[in-house]
A = this chain, B = another copy of it.
Amino acid sequence: MNKLSEEKVFRDPIHGYVRVDDSVVWQCIQTKEFQRLRRIKQLGSTSMAYHTGEHSRFAHSLGVYEIVRRMVNEVGDLKEKLTEYEKITVMLAGLLHDIGHAPFSHSFETIMHKKHEEYTVQIISQKSEIKDILDNYSPHLADDVAKVIDGSHPNGILCQMVSSQLDADRMDYLLRDSYFTGTKYGEFDLERILRTMRVADDKLAVKVSGMHTIEDYIMARYHMYWQVYFHAVSRSYDVILKNLFKRLVDLYKENPTKILDEYPMYRNLLTKEILSNEDIFDLDDSTCLYSFRLMSKGDDKILADLAMRLLTRNLFKYSNPQNSQDILSKLKEKGYDKQYYFYWDHQTQNPYTPYNGQTHSIWVLMDNGEIAELSSVSKIVSSICQNSTYQDEKIFFPKEVL
């Protein structure tokens, strides 16, 4: 009943095939909520910096599922220690972890009143095609999947698999984003990580013989952040996006009826405290892109200008924050409203966060059977952690100002 009569597959350049043989997984993939992810680019604005990074959250979500599926089938300790129900739960959590994601990544959340993780839980827990399928499988499944995703599940191993510093989510996106952007920074040895993964002391750990592979993975993540995710072009696009939505909200406050008439796709966002699952289905990249074209023809000059910049990749320039006084006075001089034409952007990323009682650290299984926190045994990782924070500050503004 629960297994498909024949395994279904999705061709995938990262994993060869994504393999599905559980009926409940297959059904979730067919839902409107999951199919929506086809219309949201995984990397949002990053495709402005790496033009081939155009893959969707749909592809990434299948990839996360596939890594979880391999964990529960290929990592001996997980295969033995997890029940069938727990395996289904964690595979679904991998598959569905991004189901509530807004278009254009985190910039869009500035006008949403909840974070995407909360919407993910909402779609799983409240009336939706997915909720029906999970309920039909087992009355507690929706709740358990949501708990794995929000990190509150009593079996911490399941949470670690889907959301920790060495989880299926990060592992898929590093490999996938590398492949599609054509950079090599995010590559690491997934096969070897899976081979050296163990359960020890009720935690997911990696054998010490695989520690170099983990170091390589940590560095891959570090490099992807600086080379790809924090690329100035991508940040510039996001800055304009944030300013555009700020302008939209400000205009709405001035004249709600006009704005709701002109931009009906943002009615729910602008008027409701919390979006319904149905409302979320209507939000994807195409919603925004279509709205940008409307805005570009609208009568508000600022909104039109910012929208056209996004459509034609006519982005802001950046400079060192020490030049901000100079830039601000030039903006004033040339008549640009600094609320919408200036942004002080601060990015920070730690290659690895050692255990502090809260985060999910990476654990290493030593030859003597004990587990140690990664930075206590890896010289490379401890070197990197001792250093002060890795950060970058830039100010963004129109190049016409100079």
* A282 is an interface residue with CB less than 8 A from chain B: yes
Are B183 and A35 closer than 8 Å at their CB atoms?
no
Are A293 and B289 closer than 8 Å at their CB atoms?
no
Are A179 and B13 closer than 8 Å at their CB atoms?
yes
**Distance between Cα atoms of A12 and B47 in the complex (Å):** 12
* A195 is an interface residue with CB less than 8 A from chain B: yes
Other-chain residue from B31, B59, B212, B384 in contact with A51 (beta carbon distance below 8 A): B59
Annotate A24-57 by CB proximity to B: 1 below 8 A, 0 otherwise.
Answer: 0000001110011011000000010011101110
Are B312 and A35 closer than 8 Å at their CB atoms?
yes
Q: Find chain B residues with CB under 8 A from A388 CB.
A: 379
The smallest C-beta distance from A145 to any residue of chain B, in angstroms, reads 21
**Distance between Cα atoms of A185 and B227 in the complex (Å):** 18
Identify which of A111-119, A215-223, A247-255, A329-337 touches chain B: A215-223
Are A55 and B54 closer than 8 Å at their CB atoms?
yes
**Distance between Cα atoms of A12 and B49 in the complex (Å):** 11
Other-chain residue from B184, B212, B285 in contact with A187 (beta carbon distance below 8 A): B184
* A84 is an interface residue with CB less than 8 A from chain B: no
* A181 is an interface residue with CB less than 8 A from chain B: yes
* A286 is an interface residue with CB less than 8 A from chain B: yes
If over half of A's interface residues share one DSSP class (helix, strand or loop), that class is named, otherwise mixed; here it is: helix
Q: Find chain B residues with CB under 8 A from A390 CB.
A: 379
* A343 is an interface residue with CB less than 8 A from chain B: no
Q: Find chain B residues with CB under 8 A from A265 CB.
A: 290
Q: Find chain B residues with CB under 8 A from A212 CB.
A: 185, 223, 226-227
Annotate A370-394 by CB proximity to B: 1 below 8 A, 0 otherwise.
Answer: 0000000001101110111010000
Other-chain residue from B47, B185, B311 in contact with A189 (beta carbon distance below 8 A): B185
Q: Find chain B residues with CB under 8 A from A382 CB.
A: 387
* A355 is an interface residue with CB less than 8 A from chain B: no
Q: How many A residues touch the partner, as a band?
A: 35 or more
The smallest C-beta distance from A385 to any residue of chain B, in angstroms, reads 8
When all copies of this chain in the complex are counted, the total is 4
Nearest CB in chain B to that of A290: its residue:
B290
* A197 is an interface residue with CB less than 8 A from chain B: no
Q: Find chain B residues with CB under 8 A from A36 CB.
A: 311
* A156 is an interface residue with CB less than 8 A from chain B: no
* A9 is an interface residue with CB less than 8 A from chain B: yes
**Distance between Cα atoms of A306 and B334 in the complex (Å):** 51
Nearest CB in chain B to that of A50: its residue:
B11
Q: Find chain B residues with CB under 8 A from A85 CB.
A: none
Are A56 and B58 closer than 8 Å at their CB atoms?
no
Are A222 and B59 closer than 8 Å at their CB atoms?
no
* A338 is an interface residue with CB less than 8 A from chain B: no
**Do A52 and B182 form a contact, CB below 8 Å, given A219-B216, A287-B290?**
no
Annotate A183-196 by CB proximity to B: 1 below 8 A, 0 otherwise.
Answer: 11101110100010
**Do A9 and B59 form a contact, CB below 8 Å, given A32-B311, A54-B54, A184-B187?**
no
* A137 is an interface residue with CB less than 8 A from chain B: no
The smallest C-beta distance from A101 to any residue of chain B, in angstroms, reads 16
Are B293 and A16 closer than 8 Å at their CB atoms?
no
* A344 is an interface residue with CB less than 8 A from chain B: no
* A346 is an interface residue with CB less than 8 A from chain B: no
Nearest CB in chain B to that of A382: its residue:
B387
Are A311 and B13 closer than 8 Å at their CB atoms?
no
Nearest CB in chain B to that of A36: its residue:
B311
A-B contact pairs, 16 of them (CB 8 A): A11-B181, A11-B183, A13-B179, A17-B191, A31-B312, A52-B55, A52-B180, A54-B54, A54-B55, A180-B180, A183-B189, A184-B216, A185-B216, A213-B227, A284-B289, A286-B293
